[in-house]
Structure 1
Amino acid sequence: MTNLDRVGDSVDVTGSSATLQTLVENHRAFLRFLERRVGSRDTGEDLLQEAFGRAVTHAHALRDGESAVAWFYRLLRNAVIDHYRRNAAAGSALERFASELPESVPPPEVADQICACVSRLAATLKPEYADALQAIEVKGVPVKEYAAAKGLTANNAGVRVFRARQALRAQVAASCGTCADHGCVDCSCGRPGS
């Protein structure tokens, strides 16, 4: 007898099938429940899919259709709580990141030496990325002030600057090659008159 045979012997497949059928029949009600709590159909569908995955592994332990629905609602409530905890943790990490950004503005003497490629390539980024870099990195506007002026949260502004830096870094690396590896300070690849 294999391990698979032993597992199959101890599980009531008929009960599991009936439980799963009951849960599937309540799919729409479960989705509405989640949508009201997370405010997004897509997020609700993701959470519901995860919960169905858990239900499949535990369905054999439930016998009665009503208790299965009640159990599944408890599972969904826990999934919503976990969802908000994950988002809160991510939000606080972004908040810490956003609070560190104003300190990363280069001193004027270094900014004057940065190669002209950076300025030229920054203009090729998405307009909101170019604007964020210009305001925060070049002019030294604090992230919170920039966010308020643009109607964004500090977290969103921090993410925008982070993504803008990544995009600019990729553009500079593609344009300048090995020069970009050394910081693009005093390079000759994009200077006017070079």
Structure 2
Amino acid sequence: MSEVDNSDERLRVLLQERARLLAFVERRVGSREMAEEILQEAFVRGVEKIAAVRDDESVVAWFYRLLRNAIIDRRRRHVATERVQSELAREWEALAEANEPDERERGEICTCMSGLVDTLKPEYESAIRTVDLGGGTVADLARANGISAGNAAVRLHRARQALGQRLRVTCGACAEHGCLDCGCRKSDERRVRAAT
């Protein structure tokens, strides 16, 4: 039997075992969707290496070892991703705490900002109100929205960028140069426009 014929036969055997292989992975990862992904990746890797299986070795036993390694690799990647996201969240927390205004400064923050927060996307508004205006943490934001701390940190960063852009458009030079005087001419003009 040629190597190609042998590989085709081995692949046919694996495909016949697909349901059992999928069940094996699903029991270990707890998700049908993730199990499908892992099995598919393992089949791709397995097809490339199936010719190297020794004739005296069961192709099914060989593939189970391949699946175990694929599951371990997926877990390692997941743990590494979570670690990076947690570290990012800690860095954001430290940065936010270092730049946290005191009570006096909070009272001086331009009232323009408060009105502009309402114009942001709802998830950005929530991020600004939870962390910057409400004194919450990135972890609080993550819990409230059912997302990871890393995703919450990214959301807060994007919300701050969006708010900064709105402030620059609305307040012009005041926002660029750090003017906190809401009694400025632009602010007065906005109040008059809003009242009419």
TM-score, L = length of structure 1: 0.70
Shift of 1:118: 7.7
Q: Structure 2 stretches of 5 or more lacking a match?
A: 191-196
Query: How far apart, in 1, do the equivalents of 2:84 and 2:135 lie?
Result: 22
Is 1:82–2:70 an aligned residue pair?
Answer: no
Matched residue of 1:140: which SS? Answer: coil
Q: CA distance change for structure 1 residues 103 and 63 in 2, over 3 Å: closer, same or farther? A: closer
Deviation at 1:167, TM superposition (A): 5.1
CA contact (8 A) 1:147 1:157 kept: yes
Equivalents in 2 of 1:86, 1:29: separation in Å?
Answer: 25
Query: How well do the aligned residues superpose, as a CA RMSD in angstroms?
Result: 3.7
Bigger mean CA offset, 39-48 vs 112-121: 112-121
Over alpha carbons, which structure has the higher Rg? 2
For structure 1, list consecutive stretches of 5 or more residues without a partner in the other structure: 1-10
d(CA) in 1 for partners of 2:100, 2:141:
19
Distance 1:173 1:143, change over 3 A: closer
In structure 2, what is the equivalent of residue 166 of structure 1? Answer: 158
Q: Which residue, out of 38, 54, 57, partners 2:45?
A: 54
- CA shift at 1:125, angstroms? 1.9
Question: 1:44-97 CA distances to partner (integer Å, 9 max, x unpaired)?
Answer: 111111111111111112365971110110010001111111111111112212
- The alpha-carbon deviation at position 192 of structure 1 amounts to 6.2
Q: Take 2:139 and 2:26, find their aligned partners in 1: how far apart are those partners?
A: 31
Is the contact between residue 102 and residue 141 of structure 1 (CA under 8 Å) also seen in structure 2?
no
Instruction: Report the CA distance between 1:22 and its aligned residue.
Output: 0.8
Paired residue for 1:30?
21
CA distance in 2, matches of 1:24, 1:119: 61
Name the CA distance, whole Å, in 2 between partners of 1:17 and 1:151.
49
Aligned residue number for residue 134 of structure 2: 139
Q: Percent identity?
A: 32
The residue number in structure 1 matching 2:194 is none
Q: Is the 1:23–1:69 Cα contact (8 Å) retained in structure 2?
A: yes
1:43 match: 34
Whether 2:6 is the aligned partner of 1:15: answer: yes
CA contact (8 A) 1:31 1:44 kept: yes
Number of corresponding residues: 177
Higher relative contact order (CA 8 A, sep 6+): 1
Q: Output the amino acid matched with 1:136.
A: V
Q: How far apart, CA to CA, are the structure 1 residues paired with 2:32 and 2:133?
A: 40
Displacement, 1:23?
1.0
